[in-house]
Structures are given as C-alpha cells and as structure tokens.
A = this chain, B = another copy of it.
C-alpha cells in the first residue's frame, strides 16, 4: 500500500458512500414494495375476473358472463396506470422491476384475450390490449413476450370450452375454435422463440390444438354438424 495520506478522511469518505448507498437501497426497496402492493391488487383483480369468466364453461349466457368480467377491466386499467405512475419515478428502470408484475400481466392478457375472443371471435391484438388498459406504448405497455405468453395461456382454456359447448349441444363450436387455433398456431410458428419459458408455453399450444381436433372429429363422425365444412367463417354469433 502506498502512503495513505489521510486515512481518517478516507474512512469518513467510505462512511459517506455507504450512507448514500443506504438511502439508495431504502429508496429502491420502498419503490419495490409499492410495485409489489400494486401487483398483489392486480392478482386479486385477475382472480375475480377469472371466476366470472369461468362461468362460461357452465352454459351461462355469454353476454351476461362478459358483462360481469368486464367490470374488472376498469380495475385493472386503474392499477396499470398506477404502476405506470410509479415507474415514471425511476425512468429507464422499468425492466429492473419487471419481474414483480410480469406474471400478473401474462394472466391478465390471457383473460382479456379470452374475453375478447368470446365477444368477437378474433385475437386480441397487442395494441388493443394497450388501449383497453389506457396505456401509451411509447412509455409503458405490456411487454411483447408477456403478451405472447398470455395468448398461450388463453389457448389452454379453449379445449375445455369446446368440450362444454358440445355438451350443451353447440356442435358448431369445434370447427370455429379449430380454425382460430390453427391460425394462431401458424402465426406463432413464424417467430424464432429464444425465450425459454415462452417456447415451452408455445409447445403446449400443440396439445390444445390436438384436443380440439379430436372433439371436432367426434362431432363430425357422429354426423352432429349439419353445416358445410368450408373453413370460411359465415358469421360467428354464438349461443
């Protein structure tokens, strides 16, 4: 060691630095706690929305189910805007805390996408999700990989939906779902998935597709569908 000169002053500089760190860690710790509090509320709103949507499997009227589920979109919109506001306090650090709300985002996307599909028969687009949540993409919106994972989760719900619809006598449902899922699966196949979790979830979509094909086969082989087989969709109003 070279001559230390003024070790006492060096020691007080170290103390000063750690005092700064203490404040820094307190700040980022309390920021994280606030983010986690919002994420916990998101999880709760997701749970309520999920409960409402699940009724669609019990042959309840779709419009009634959708009306109830939509009530939670307002709540989620408020929560995402509260999150965006917190993140505005730490510009450029969005991804530092991203792990604390990404799972909630994925679940929410899956629910919004299922609701949107029940309503329109179409895939909820990424920009439509942002609009529903009142978010400005240039600043803060659902991460694209979280959106894609959410869409995979939504696909997992479809085989069950098809089975329950056929049970209630809606024999046209499998064909429609099959067309939707086939297109979705083809679209995903365009992507070079390097995110391991996303790739695994996408692999699961294959099983959803297979199960829907089997149900479609069951209704066809028993002559339960009366309409033509054209994959052209002629209006998608559902029971």
Using a CB–CB distance below 8 Å, which chain A residues touch chain B?
Answer: 1-4, 7, 10-11, 13-15, 17-19, 21-22, 24-26, 29, 32, 44, 47, 50-51, 54, 57-59, 91-96, 98, 117-123, 125-126, 144, 148, 160, 163-164, 166-169, 176, 182-194, 210, 213-222, 224, 229, 231, 233, 235-238
Contact = CB atoms under 8 A, between A and B. Distances in A.
Given A210-B160, A233-B7, A18 B92 contact: no
8 contacts: A2-B236, A2-B237, A4-B237, A18-B188, A22-B190, A54-B186, A166-B220, A169-B229
A220 to B, nearest CB: 5
A171 B234 CA distance: 26
B190 A19 contact: yes
Interface centre among A117, A182, A192 (most CB of B within 10 A): A192
A25 to B, nearest CB: 6
B214 A2 contact: no
A236 B167 CA distance: 20
A166 to B, nearest CB: 6
Number of copies: 4
A189 B221 CA distance: 33
A70 to B, nearest CB: 14
A95 B233 CA distance: 45
Contact of A122 (B7, B164, B191, B215): B7
Contact of A120 (B2, B93, B191, B194): B2
A164 B54 CA distance: 27
A126 B13 CA distance: 11
B229 A21 contact: no
